[in-house]
Amino acid sequence: MTISIGCDHAGFPYKEAIIHLLTQRNIEIIDHGTYSTDAVDYPDFIHPVANDIEAGRSTLGILMCGSGNGVAMTANKHQGVRAAICWEVELATLARLHNDANAIAIPVRFVSENLALEMVAAFLDHEFEGGRHARRVGKIACG
């Protein structure tokens, strides 16, 4: 499995801990930055993650910014991406089980680093259930 990760300056402090978790699980990582807490524009780091998902270079994406909104909005502009904003473990689990989310958007100003790690683990540990949810997910994309 390969995971593509991207964040803005608010997300940077959690990125290394998440990369460490992924490395412990022997997951290949594509790190699109950012690489410091210097202010940046999140779309510059999120579009490459979304492109990786759409092109099949990564299986899943991890996105981070202060609220999670900006990175989710950016990623969801891509037809092949279903990014879910999650602020608790159950949401991360359901995003995979029921919505076939292929990217998790973490609002780092509203969750602890430990909770972010737990959510990423839950996101990785679950797969889409399909069934009745597949019909709904099939109606998400436009055109």
Q: Cα 95–125–23 angle (5° rounding)?
A: 115
Active centre residues (catalytic)? 65, 98
Alpha carbons 93 and 90: distance in angstroms, whole number? 5
Alpha carbons 59 and 29: distance in angstroms, whole number? 10
DSSP tally for the chain: helices H, then strands E: 6, 5
